[in-house]
Structures are given as C-alpha cells and as structure tokens.
Chain A
Amino acid sequence: MVAASPSAAAIEHSRLFSKQHSDGGWGLVPIQSRVGRFRSFKAAEFEPVSGFETEWKYTPIKLIDPLLNGALVGEQPKLESRLEGGASLNWVDAGNPLIGSVGIPEERGSANAWSQIAGAHVLTLDGTDCFAEIARTGEGSALATHLVVRVSANSKANVVLKGTGAGSSSDNVEIHVGEGAELTLVTIQDWDDSYTQLSTHFIKLDRDSIVRHVVVSLGGAVVRLNTSVHLAGQGSEAELLGVYFADEAQHLEHQVFVNHDAPNTKSRVNYRGALNGLGARTVWVGDVLIRPTATGTDSYEENRNLLLSEGARADSVPNLEIETGEIIGAGHASASGRFDDEQLFYLQARGIPEEIARRLVVEGFLSGVVQRIGIPDIEAALIEAIRAELSRESG
C-alpha cells in the first residue's frame, strides 16, 4: 500500500497518518479483489471518508460523522443478560489478545471504535446447550463497544443480542466458532428513531462448524451493520439471514462479505426488507469471494425488497468473485418490487380488511426468512417483533 500524498493546500491531520490507498470510486485505481481491501485497527491509518468510496457510497456519511471521526467515549451501556447452559459473560481490558483474534477493521468507522475502546465483553459458550440473551439500552452519548463471542469446539449455542434506546454507537462484534460447533446468533436492532449505529460482525468458522447469523433491523435513524464471514475451516457452513423494515426517513444498510477460504464450505445469504414512506432507504451489498483454496464451495445469496409506497428506495448489489472453477455452485438473486395486488385481492376476498391484509402480506414476506431459523422460540419472538413494528406503522 502506498500512502496517499497529502494535499498541499489543506493539510488534514488524519491524512498524515493514512496508509490506505485512496480509491474513491473515481476510476483511478483498478478494481481490486474484495480480499485486498485495506485493513487496520487504527482509524488514523484510513483515509478520511469522502462518501465516494465503494464501501461508503450508499451511506449518509454526514449523519454518522461523529461515529467515523469523533470521540466515542460515552459510558459503556448497561447490559441485561440471561445466561444458561455453559454460557458466561466477562469483561477484559483493551490489550487482551482475544480482542482482534477474529477480525481486522476494513473501514474507518469500525477502526474508529476499535481505537477507542477501554475493553470488551467476552461471551464464552462452552457446552451443548448454551443460551445467552444480552439486551442493551442506549442512553444518549456516542460510544464504542466491543463484544467477543467464543463458541468452544463441539458446543452448541443460541445467542440473542438486542439493542434499544437512544444515542449512537460504533460496535464491533468478533465471533469465533470452534471446530464442530454450531452457533445461532440473532442481533436485533430496535433503537429509538434518532439512533445512529455502525456495526461490524466478524465471524471466523473453524473446521466443520456452522453459524446461523440473523440480523433484524427495525428501529434507528441510520443503522449500518456489516457482516464479514471467514469460512476458514474445511466443511464449515454459514447461513446469513436478514430482515429489515425501513419507514419514513430511515436508512438501514447491510453489507455482507462471505469469504470462502477452505474446501467444501457452504454459504447461504438471504436478506429481505420492506420499505414504507418518504425517504425510507435500504441498502444491501452482498460480496461473495471464492478463493483458490475453496474447492467444492457451495454458495448462494439472495436479497428481496418489497416497496410499499412511493418515495422509498432500495439498493441491492450482489457481487460474486470466483477464483477457482472447482465448485459445486455459486449463484445470486436480487429482486425489488412493489406489492402484488393479487395477493391483496385474495385476502380481501376472504373478508380481511385491506390494512390487515397488507400487514399480513408484509409479515409473510419477511417471515419467509424467519422460518429458516429453525428454532421455534426465536422464530416466534422475531415474528412478534415484526408484528409490533408493522402495527406501529399503521397506527
């Protein structure tokens, strides 16, 4: 990497330390492999965000400037946790080797949080019947958080993370799934209307491990949650599911990166969103990379969006990069469209009022993803959350 030369006219402090190659989407730099993106733990080593970069061009960067560039020194939020089976939750100070054991930030927002944390919560899951629910309430100030989730070899765990309340945060979550282990992790973003959040989930899968990662984004002014999965172990599997509902003036963004890096790995990505109201905006970017080491890969990603009103916009960008021909399959699908009037007619013809019929269709559309989770309690709780969001919508 060559450091960008600082401008002669205006010296930007942050640029003096920048080691990131400026690409800026101006066509000055040839398209590089997804794996070649600049990575660093230090915010100062990144270029300032202009909004033209591949990874930022869909994001309202003005609204999240404090998270990209500001001090994130708010007090750590109070966590309410319920831990069962072999689940335990501890605090470690910055500098602990668990921090950074899974991921390295690929953009400035994530690094800005990483640079400022005092420590991290570590959730350890060791046993075949682990359950953890961690609920967190925002209380106003901008802050950085860090969570490390470690699933021991051959363990089985279900984890629910839930965020509510006011404020703003940049949150990094590192998830390590040990050999032969299985993790279902659901993260629910149900913040107050004014909340702004940048979040990155880094996931590393050891041999024959399985992760089911479920993102549910309902509340918040800006929520940008990127999930980066490294299928590092042979035979590992990732199912990445997402459900989101954006209403007026809400920006919900999800960027997924699936890195197939070992033989016989499997991934499925399935994100669905509904949008309603002026300025409702959603972004989905799905990058899948199949590296030369990943022979026998089986990969498929899909994003669907349902636009319920005028003035809403959904961006959907699937990308596929294949470096070996010896694979089982690699495909993607993306579709964004409006309501199907025939579905409404059918339901109304059974006496169901239009308002309830609409809600039922949207709920059905989104629960098509929820139904894939396969854990009845979690499915029921998510359907409840979606229902509550939909009735807020029409109320």
Chain B
Amino acid sequence: MAELKINDLHVSVLTDQGAKSILRGVDLVVRSGETHAIMGPNGSGKSTLAYTIAGHPKYKVESGNITLDGVDVLAMSIDERARAGLFLAMQYPVEIPGVTVTNFLRTAKTSIDGEPPAVRTWIKDVKTSMENLRMDPSFAQRNVNEGFSGGEKKRHEILQLELLKPKIAILDETDSGLDVDALKVVAEGVNRAKSSTDVGVLLITHYTRILRYIHPDFVHVFVDGKIAEEGGPELADRLEDEGYDRFVSASKVG
C-alpha cells in the first residue's frame, strides 16, 4: 500500500521578473488504488504541482513537504523519485533525437528495476502494450517523441505507465489535444494499469471529458495555487454544469 502525502506545499517558479509564487499551501494524500482528479482553470498551478512532485529544477519548494510511504521525496533527485515509484505522464513530452523507443524503454525499465528485464517476457510485454494502445509496431524503431503526433505522444506516455508499473502516477493533462477515439484508447490504458497494478492516480485536467472514461474517487478543485473545494465524483458533474466561474470570482474577491 503506497501513500503519497503532500503537506502545506508552497512553490515558486523563477521567471525573468524574479521568483513568482504559484502553489500556496497544497494538502493532498493519494493512496494505491485511488484515483484523484485535480481540476481547475488555466494558470491555477495544476501543472506546477505535477512537475514539483517529479522534481523539475525550474520549481522551487519554499515550504511544506512531500513524502512517499513516509520517505522525503523532496530530498530525492529526479531519477530517484521515479525509481521510488513516482511517474509523471507529461503534457508536452520531450523529443530525444537519435534514441529509439525500444532503447529508451529498455533503459528506463532497467533503471527502475535495478536489473535488465528478462528478454523474452519484456519483448512480449512491450508488444502487447503497444497493441492495446493501437500503436503500430514500427513505433518501436522511431526516435523518442520525434515527429510524433499529439496523440502518439500521449499513447507513448501511457505505454510507459503500463510498462514501468509505478506506485503513483501523475497524469498531467493527458487528455489535452486528443480526439474522442484517442482519448478512449488512452483512458483504457490507464484503467488497465489501475486494475493490473493497483496504481494510485493523480489525474490533472481542465475538462471533465476524460472523467467519463477514468472514474475518479475524489475530485479536487484547484484555484489560485491551492485546493478550493473537494468532493466525490459528483463535484465533477457540478463543474461540468457551472464551470469554474464560481471559484475564480470567489478567489478574486478574497
């Protein structure tokens, strides 16, 4: 049973105009098997939360803490966090020219497991996951994210989620830029990972659309760098009807 615990997290980002405060006291707990949706308007700090958990050097933690099963995540390097069981499916996956998907996946799996995967089962696992995500076999020989369409990039992220088997996965706007068919394929991949590995999911999204396919246990509304309201799946339905206006104007008044 894994537990990611975020406690009173304050984060700033360095801009040309100096440090800018983005997260202003975030509290959140995600456990194995749970699916949390974080929803909020643009610029509310959702992605900052995702990148801070993963350890991107651009974001500076001013105070608060993050632990995974009681161990201090903020003291870990980026790769140590991933090896501890955290995974971030990125909104804008980066191109790595000259590095094939096959080579990349094997290197990542070897790093996470601490030993190379058994060849035969590994090749079969990769093949099966790619088929499930409707990815053409030629994909394996292409360079990581190079010339991938938006949908291909997202499928490749979910492919990694399935193969690397993290304890807690953060999906940063995985639904953005996907048409309905691609969205279904990606959502199926997440649901497969949930049922086969009991991964805890932190699903960051602007729209309620993806929640029709990946059902959240908890919904958190993120406004102005912190959680403004929390509830069950019914909160998402309400947002669908009302939008974020209620929260945004409230935060402006406050």
- Out of A341, A345, A346, A351, name the residue touching B83 (CB < 8 Å): A351
Q: Does B57 lie within 8 Å of A346, measured CB to CB?
A: no
Select the residue from B57, B87, B107, B164 with max chain A CB neighbours within 10 A.
B107
Q: Does B57 lie within 8 Å of A352, measured CB to CB?
A: no
CA distance A29 to B174 in the complex (A): 63
CA distance A340 to B81 in the complex (A): 21
Q: Does A356 lie within 8 Å of B111, measured CB to CB?
A: yes
Q: Does B111 lie within 8 Å of A346, measured CB to CB?
A: no
Question: How does the 8 Å CB contact mask read for B31-57 relative to A, with 1 for contact and 0 for none?
Answer: 000000000000000000000001111
Question: How does the 8 Å CB contact mask read for B104-129 relative to A, with 1 for contact and 0 for none?
Answer: 10011001100000000000000000
One of B20-28, B89-97, B131-139, B212-220 contacting the partner? B89-97
Q: Does B88 lie within 8 Å of A349, measured CB to CB?
A: yes
Q: Does A341 lie within 8 Å of B57, measured CB to CB?
A: yes
Q: Does B96 lie within 8 Å of A343, measured CB to CB?
A: yes
Q: Does A352 lie within 8 Å of B98, measured CB to CB?
A: no
Residues of B contacting A354 in the complex (Cβ-Cβ under 8 angstroms): 77-79
Q: Measured between C-beta atoms, what is the minimum distance from B199 to chain A in Å?
A: 15
Question: How does the 8 Å CB contact mask read for B168-193 relative to A, with 1 for contact and 0 for none?
Answer: 00000000000000000000000000
Q: Does B79 lie within 8 Å of A353, measured CB to CB?
A: yes
B235 CB-CB contact with A under 8 Å = no
Residues of A contacting B79 in the complex (Cβ-Cβ under 8 angstroms): 348-354, 357
CB-CB under 8 A for A363 and B82, given A350-B108, A356-B111: no
CA distance A366 to B96 in the complex (A): 12
Q: Does B54 lie within 8 Å of A371, measured CB to CB?
A: no
- Out of A345, A364, A366, name the residue touching B56 (CB < 8 Å): A345
Q: Does B96 lie within 8 Å of A348, measured CB to CB?
A: no
CA distance A371 to B98 in the complex (A): 8
A361 CB-CB contact with B under 8 Å = yes
Interface size for chain B: under 10, 10 to 19, 20 to 34, or 35 or more residues?
20 to 34
Q: Does A351 lie within 8 Å of B111, measured CB to CB?
A: yes
Select the residue from B56, B98, B111, B112 with max chain A CB neighbours within 10 A.
B98
Question: How does the 8 Å CB contact mask read for A334-377 relative to B, with 1 for contact and 0 for none?
Answer: 00000011110111111111101100110111111001000000
- Out of B95, B97, B143, B160, name the residue touching A350 (CB < 8 Å): B160
B99 CB-CB contact with A under 8 Å = yes
Q: Does B96 lie within 8 Å of A350, measured CB to CB?
A: no
Q: Measured between C-beta atoms, what is the minimum distance from B106 to chain A in Å?
A: 11
Q: Does A345 lie within 8 Å of B94, measured CB to CB?
A: yes
Q: Other CB < 8 Å A-B pairs besides A346-B96, A348-B78, A348-B82, 20 of them?
A: A341-B57, A343-B94, A345-B78, A348-B77, A349-B87, A349-B90, A350-B104, A350-B108, A350-B111, A350-B112, A353-B79, A354-B77, A356-B107, A357-B79, A361-B99, A364-B97, A364-B98, A364-B143, A365-B98, A371-B98
- Could you list 6 examples of A-B contacts with CB < 8 Å? A340-B94, A346-B96, A349-B78, A350-B111, A350-B160, A351-B111
Residues of A bordering B, CB below 8 Å: 340-343, 345-354, 356-357, 360-361, 363-368, 371
Residues of B bordering A, CB below 8 Å: 54-57, 77-79, 81-83, 87-88, 90, 93-99, 103-104, 107-108, 111-112, 143, 160, 164
